Amino acid sequence: NAGVTQTPKFRILKIGQSMTLQCAQDMNHNYMYWYRQDPGMGLKLIYYSVGAGITDKGEVPNGYNVSRSTTEDFPLRLELAAPSQTSVYFCASIKAGANVLTFGAGSRLTVL
């Protein structure tokens, strides 16, 4: 049972490049989330999804897009990378009705 798997673990991007952070869970969890973690700022919710085909914005959605075509996968896309998107990104999931998140290991993104 892999839990929540994120790829890549590390990535360096140039300004203006695009990329997708992958997130997959094998626990049949309904809800999935993307957070970014910045020093002194805690974790901020970017986007979340309550099921396949349903996504919604969190606190800091600008510059990002998501999709949820299957229950298992919840990729996060950066279209035009900016230095302000340098951060550690965490994917998490939870079963509907439960209240404890399972987190991925994180993806460290640097935009130069």
Partner 1 sequence: AQRVTQPEKLLSVFKGAPVELKCNYSYSGSPELFWYVQYSRQRLQLLLRHISRESIKGFTADLNKGETSFHLKKPFAQEEDSAMYYCALLQETSGSRLTFGEGTQLTVNP
Residues near partner 1 (CB under 8 A) are 31, 33, 35, 40-45, 48, 50, 56, 58, 90, 92, 94, 96, 98-101, 103-106
Q: How far is the CB of 106 from partner 1 (least distance, A)?
A: 7
Q: Are 109 and 13 contacting, i.e. CB atoms less than 8 angstroms apart? A: yes
Decide whether 14 or 100 has the Cβ nearer to partner 1.
100
The phi and psi torsions of 83 (rounded to 5 degrees) equal -55, -30
CA distance readout (Å), 8 to 21, 23, 36, 51, 105: 7, 9, 15, 23, 10
Q: How far is the CB of 108 from partner 1 (least distance, A)?
A: 12
For residue 75, whether the previous peptide bond is cis, meaning omega lies within 30 degrees of 0, is no
Decide whether 14 or 28 has the Cβ nearer to partner 1.
28
Decide whether 58 or 75 has the Cβ nearer to partner 1.
58
Q: How far is the CB of 111 from partner 1 (least distance, A)?
A: 22
Residue 2 CB neighbours (<10 A): 9
